Amino acid sequence: MIPIRISSFSQGDAGGNPAGVVIADHLPDAAKMQRIAADLGYSETAFAAPEGKSWRVRFYAPVGEVPFCGHATIALGAALGAQEGPGRFELHLRDTQISVEAHETQGRWHAALQSPSTWSKPLEDDLRYALLDAFSLSDDELDPALPPTLAFGGALHAILTLQDRERLRKMAYPFDAMRDLMALHGLVTVSLLYVAGARSFVSRNAFASGGVVEDPATGAAAAALAGALVDRDWDGLRAGGSFHIMQGEDMGMPSALDVEVTGLPGASVRVSGAVRWI
């Protein structure tokens, strides 16, 4: 049972978010999966075992299980494509069912996940103020075009959008206090965004809840953002369409996520990107 190391949402031979992938005849017990994830030290590791014509999947961060992880799903899809051949794979997660597709183009594997259902609502004042304090931000630094939001796309994420790209570049927070705050509110990540264009965003994702300061690319947060943008009919996305997220640039791990929506509020969304083996 040797873990595969794959970086998801990479750009060429650089960047992306490293994930562990373990494909076995049977899932290890929870303690062993946790130990493997901690030893690897990546933000998440995906564990998969065949179950009829589909796959039973669990995700573990270094400090605990998470219900859904986008970049580890992309990594798993590429690994399954390389092992089983290109195609679509049905995945039974802890709390829901999703799918991932994989194909190879010019020697490089690409994968696209179909997320769980989505929802969003305004961020409550107490959590907003606590997050602003943790990031040393003020309300005046937020972009009113996309107000503070609590969003779900298989996992729960808080979204704060900044007016200044340079302020995003300087993201910092007290790790232990943020970890406790995220645990209190059930958050998997906190997304800080900058609107680079109507269909283009720059993102940084705090992941203290998983024992990691920052994720270079976060597919689950991308899915949650997509649901929130559809709910707001951002740039006409109620008619369907796509947008692009650039992440990891400020930590030297440039990553690219492409997101497609049907336009139906609450619906699953598609998040795709390239991978590279580590």
72's CB contacts (< 8 A; 6+ apart) are 8, 19, 20, 21, 44, 45, 46, 59
Residue 41 has pLDDT above 80, yes or no: yes
Over residues 158-163, mean pLDDT: 98
Same domain? 155 vs 169: yes
User: For residue 39, what is the domain's CATH number?
Assistant: 3.10.310.10
Is this structure's pTM higher than 0.75?
Answer: yes
Domain boundary among 49, 82, 113: 113
Q: Which domain holds residue 11?
A: 4-113
Q: CA-CA distances (angstroms) from residue 176 to 49, 134, 180, 208? A: 34, 10, 6, 8
Q: Confidence band (pLDDT; 50, 70, 90) for 212?
A: confident
Q: Mean per-residue pLDDT for 101-127?
A: 96
210 plus 190 within the same structural domain? yes
What are residue 223's phi and psi, to 5 degrees? -65, -40
**pLDDT score, position 239:** 98
Residue 1 has pLDDT above 80, yes or no: no
Q: For position 210, what pLDDT does the model report?
A: 86
Same domain, 108 and 155: no
> Is there a domain that residue 18 lies in?
yes
One domain for residues 80 and 159: no
Q: What's the whole-number average pLDDT of the chain?
A: 96
Q: Are residues 238 and 148 in the same domain?
A: yes
Q: Is residue 278 part of a domain?
A: no
Does the pLDDT of residue 238 top 90, yes or no? yes
What is the number of structural domains in the chain?
A: 2
In a shared domain, residues 162 and 93:
no
| Average confidence (pLDDT) over 231-245 | 98
Same domain, 160 and 211: yes
Same domain, yes or no: 148 and 183: yes
